[in-house]
Structure 1
Amino acid sequence: MIRMLLRVLGHQYAQPVRRTVVLMTVTAVAEGLSYALLVPVLRALFGSTPEDARPWLIAFGVAVAAYAALRYVSDLSGFRVGTTLLRGMYHRLGDHLARLPIGWYSAGRVGEVSVLAGRGVLQAMSVIAHLLAPFISACVTPLTIVVVMLAFDWRMGLAALAAAPVVAAIQVWTGRSMAAADTERAKRDREATARVIEYLQAQPVLRAGGRTVERFRLLDDSLQEVQRASRRTVLSALPGTLGLTLAVQVMFTVLLVLGAYLALGGNIGAAELLAILVLAARCADPLLSLSDVGGKLRGARSELVRLDTVLRTEPLPEAREPIQPVGHDLEFESVTFRHGDRTVLDNVSLSVPEGQRLAVVGPSGAGKSTLLQLLARFYDVDAGVVRVGGVDVRAINTEVLMEQIAIVFQDVYLFEGTIEENVRLGRPDADEAEVRAAATAARLDEVIERLPGGWETNVGEGGALLSGGERQRVSIARALLKNAPIVLLDEVTSALDPVNEAAVHDGIERLMAGRTVVMVAHRLRTVQHADRIVFLDGGRIVEEGSHEELLRHGGHYADFWNMSLTAAASGSDISELGRDSGL
């Protein structure tokens, strides 16, 4: 358990953990030895001179005080180390999740990561703070008492020692019998969490479609599965709990019968027998607690295994000797990328000279957004090379690559906090004048002026308290503040009303000025002003050239353009004709 904990966290925590384990072990031994003083105390009290018990009582009080001090120090050490481990675990897990490929975050992993990063980490890291001391005490204190019993009467001591392998066997058997139930319970927990998240996120769609009753039933079924799994877990633990209780009671009964036999034969005094039985009773309490502590430890170990599995997932590799890009031109050379069994991009080659604008158009599912994601190295290609500044993105340090790129997505996510805090994510060290200038360029200042809280307005989780256009302006201001030489735009105006579209378009024009730009777009005025346009279909470039060249060619792009003009003339939203839904 400790070895796995250190493997998950890293061996830099080994020394404080080992020190805490040693301290807890010493405390448990001290507890057992303090009980040993009950033998001379009871012997004196039941002897002919009860006053002889006074020094033993004083010694017993001193021993109990020493044990209490040790217990305080060991518990405090456990809490401090546990807090340190918890903080370290969150940092390590967060850093690792940030380095995993975007493709790792499938829909099923939402619930898994939610449970793991919340209750899972807390349960796993509770070992040192809350579980280790009771477990060591339950194991070491009874063994110390048995050693004391051996010192006073070897026959009673051996009888008590015989229970040790029985208790150990019951614990091992219980752990094995509960393994499948624990795994099933964890699986159902993750599925239920994913259902809850799905249900909350899908409320607008469900209500619009009148499907809330059905969705309630799906969620209820998932929660009922959790209930059934919990019931199976409890039932699988019941035999072990009963077995442990029975073993402890049998041990005490055997000691009682053996002690009575020895006392009647004159081989042991009544005082010694009473003292040994008191010690045996003190063994029972910690042994009986093994069932509860053992169950919690198994749960914590299961979470550690899951954490270990996530942390062993290979992130995108970093170059041992990173290369600094020397320019801001972009290039795809024979790039092939697969998502599962589907080939999203197939032998794509194109280049974007520094300072020029490339527009990418095509039907949904053609691979347009994937081009942007490969440039930002959200994924690695299966074949070919993606270059930034003449350097393979796999050879560029991730932080350096991200410094070169500003991304504005169609679906903007804002962190819960103020507008200013979200804008400053682009460059946290920017001064106030730079932040205000970026907001003005993105026309975010118009939004701030009409909000009662101004810059201190809270945007809510995901930016829920702002409209889509307002969120997009915050996103553009953030990108402007970053001032990166490469800009990637993913259909940023597709779902905006005319007023917000005009404001966002002005901000985008300022953002693109003098920068290398790749944009996924359908809006007429955005596409036609690009230096070059490529038309993707089925993961391949079927046409490329300037706006005028492609119209003269009369191919796919010309058809797209004509449909756009027709839709615009009829008052339809052009973006609905070809909104990109992902890969």
Structure 2
Amino acid sequence: MTGVHSSAKPATLPIASGKRAARLAWHLLTLRPWMLVLSIALLGAAAGAALLVPTGLGRLVDAVTGVDHSLLDVALLLVAGIAGSAALGALGSMALAAVLETALARLREDFVAAALSLPPVLVDEIADGELVSRATDDVDTVGEVTTGAVPAVVSAGLAVVATGIGLAVLNPLFLLAMLTVVPVHAFALWRYLRKAPRLYAAERVAVAARSREMVSAIQALPTVHAFGWGKAITERIRTRSWNVLRWSLRTRIVQSRFGFRMNMAEAVGLASVLLVGAWLAFSGSATIGEVTTAALLFQALFGPFIALLMLVDDLQSAGASLARVAGVIQLAPAPAGLSAPASAAGAAIAAAVAGEPATPDVELRGVVAAYPGRPAVLWIDELRIPAGQRVAIVGSSGAGKSTLARVLMGLLDVREGRVDVAGLDPALMEENERARRVVMVSQDVHVFSGTLRHNLLMARENASDAELREALESVAGPRWRHTFADGLETLIGEGNAELTATDAHRLALARALVTRAPIVILDEATADADTTDARALEAAARRALAGRTVVTVAHHLTQASSAERVLVMEHGRIVEDGTHVELLDSEGPYRELWAAWSSHRSRAPLEQRAEPSSTTDTERHRP
């Protein structure tokens, strides 16, 4: 970016507190409250039906040992237990799946909505890959646990409760024997929870750091190859990957110790139940079949109980990921009462919609702007750009050109002063309204996967095919029909026909035309194109945007020489303002920039210095 920046560490997105993440989880789970209640009732009934199986086996033992139990009754009990638990469990699982899938879909929707609503200035400051990691790794982790671990936790929890009730019905002493495992489980869980949350959080951070490193390397791949940094970058990614592995191994060690303590609890609990059962049987307080039933219930209990505790592992990982996802969602702007300036903006917008004309002028007075948490970087005492004027902003890197462009777009709030773009402060406009008045074409052009029509309708949904074709004709001439063989139905973007950088920028210019916005900001829109293509794009932009107010952050000084007005910036201030010829005649920074640029061009190959055949009157006055 060419705006003024102070050196600082990349910003990081917040991580929500445990309470906020829990509130979000509860809100999502209760989106379908009656379905949630139904699923728990069905799964509880399934857990109760499952108790009939060990009860039937216990009665079978009694029948074999001489206690009067009908074998037919035993058989019916077993069939009812197996069939009932299977049917009720299936219905409960389907109901719970509907609840969880709804919650997961809403979580993804809320995350995407929050991510899209993040202020562009914040997105620029976020470390590379941070948002991508939360949108992929963290959301996927929450999704896997939601569809896998949560149903298992609910089923296991209900099974534990039902088994406890069953043991108490047989004999309260059996329930007391079962409770002997609680201290062992409590100790194991305490030791586990002391370390697991920290380890999982560190693992997620390590994964995010690796993602950032990889995304950064991929984005800078041409530069990496050009400077021979391949080995160094590979080593950095390897270091990040080993860091992920180290944290993963630490979590696995904690898991293994947790599993060992769970096995010890099973041995203690089963021994307690058998000892109590033996005492009750010898004292005549229980039959052999009832002792068998108690042992089978405890044995059946231990599977869900261990699963419940072991799933704490997945829940801890999902909790860490959910906190990271919730950290983004909490940044989404909440509806609030309009302030006085916002109310005024709303009234002006309503008037514009009602048909009252707004003059597409641009005016700034006493503006002081800064990036969040940083000192001021832009100072504009007074600037007025009349409707229809073509203005170029030039200056060295870091002069504040892109910062000024962001202020004009409403993407950076000002600390002081007034910004008036087409009759309104752009920072107070709704996105759709702002797009009707002012649009920006930057050097970062995105081609969406889909048809050419779909890519253009992103600018204005109700644009007709004739308007889309006219926009393409304006920026590319008849050649667009050859570039896009299937016309507006041509598939482009990822997985389809790939566009050249020049064609992608033409597409971006066409989008700007489709919006009908009277003010267009070109922020180094041709910086990624080579010299010949850049000049062709500049000529196309001049033709297509004729009659509109155009503010160009100039990457090539040819853009300044063809503009009606040139603003020269240094250290966040406008230091010169005039036409190309006027500024060349004065002893100032623009003349120095032009001299340095002309000297560079004189050393370039002749074919790279060829001017476009169509020149404006201003271009004919170049030295």
On whether the aligned pair clears a TM of 0.5, the verdict is yes
How many angstroms apart in 2 are the aligned matches of 1:18 and 1:379? 45
CA spacing shift, 1:388–1:462, aligned 2, 3 Å: farther
The equivalences for 1:159-174 within 5 A come to 159-164=177-182, 166-168=184-186, 170-174=188-192
Which residue of 437, 441, 445 maps to 1:408?
441
Deviations 1:516-544 (A, max 9, x none): 22111254553234343221100011111
CA spacing shift, 1:254–1:379, aligned 2, 3 Å: same
How many angstroms apart in 2 are the aligned matches of 1:358 and 1:57? 90
Is the contact made by 2:31 and 2:102 (CA closer than 8 Å) also made in structure 1? no
1:331 corresponds to 2:355: no
CA displacement at 1:453 relative to structure 2: 6.1
Residue 212 of structure 2: aligned partner: 194
Which residue of 161, 172, 185 maps to 1:154?
172
CA displacement at 1:458 relative to structure 2: 4.7
Deviations 1:482-524 (A, max 9, x none): 2211100122334544553343233212332222221112545
Is the contact made by 1:463 and 1:471 (CA closer than 8 Å) also made in structure 2? no
**Which blocks of at least 5 consecutive residues in structure 1 are unaligned?**
575-583
CA displacement at 1:457 relative to structure 2: 5.0
CA displacement at 1:208 relative to structure 2: 1.9
Comparing 347-356 with 274-283, greater Cα deviation is found at 347-356
How many angstroms apart in 2 are the aligned matches of 1:40 and 1:408? 75
1:512 corresponds to 2:536: no
How many angstroms apart in 2 are the aligned matches of 1:2 and 1:50? 56
CA spacing shift, 1:456–1:218, aligned 2, 3 Å: farther
**What count of residue pairs does the alignment treat as equivalent?**
575
1:24 corresponds to 2:24: no
| SS of residue in 1 equivalent to 2:566 | strand
1:387 corresponds to 2:420: yes
Q: Which amino acid aligns with 1:8?
A: L
The equivalences for 1:24-173 within 5 A come to 24=40, 26-36=42-52, 38-39=54-55, 42-43=58-59, 45-47=61-63, 48=66, 52-106=70-124, 109-164=127-182, 166-168=184-186, 170-173=188-191
| SS of residue in 1 equivalent to 2:348 | coil
How many angstroms apart in 1 are the aligned matches of 2:549 and 2:143? 47
Is the contact made by 1:331 and 1:350 (CA closer than 8 Å) also made in structure 2? yes
Q: Which amino acid aligns with 2:55?
A: V
CA spacing shift, 1:285–1:34, aligned 2, 3 Å: same
CA spacing shift, 1:51–1:271, aligned 2, 3 Å: closer
Residue 430 of structure 2: aligned partner: 397
Comparing 423-432 with 182-191, greater Cα deviation is found at 423-432
| SS of residue in 2 equivalent to 1:105 | helix
CA spacing shift, 1:3–1:562, aligned 2, 3 Å: closer
How many angstroms apart in 1 are the aligned matches of 2:103 and 2:440? 35
The equivalences for 1:178-257 within 5 A come to 178-257=196-275
Q: Which amino acid aligns with 1:520?
A: V
The equivalences for 1:212-361 within 5 A come to 212-313=230-331, 315=333, 320=338, 321=343, 322-325=346-349, 326-339=358-371, 340-361=373-394
How many angstroms apart in 1 are the aligned matches of 2:484 and 2:387? 39
CA displacement at 1:60 relative to structure 2: 3.8
| SS of residue in 1 equivalent to 2:384 | strand
Q: Which amino acid aligns with 1:179?
A: P
CA displacement at 1:347 relative to structure 2: 4.5
CA spacing shift, 1:280–1:10, aligned 2, 3 Å: closer
Is the contact made by 2:391 and 2:552 (CA closer than 8 Å) also made in structure 1? yes
Give the fraction of aligned pairs with identical amino acids, expressed as a percent: 26
1:430 corresponds to 2:439: no
How many angstroms apart in 2 are the aligned matches of 1:144 and 1:166? 21
CA displacement at 1:35 relative to structure 2: 1.2
Deviations 1:330-361 (A, max 9, x none): 22222222235454213453121222232211
Q: Which amino acid aligns with 1:116?
A: R
Residue 555 of structure 1: aligned partner: 588
CA spacing shift, 1:7–1:327, aligned 2, 3 Å: farther
Q: Which amino acid aligns with 2:389?
A: Q
How many angstroms apart in 1 are the aligned matches of 2:28 and 2:484? 49
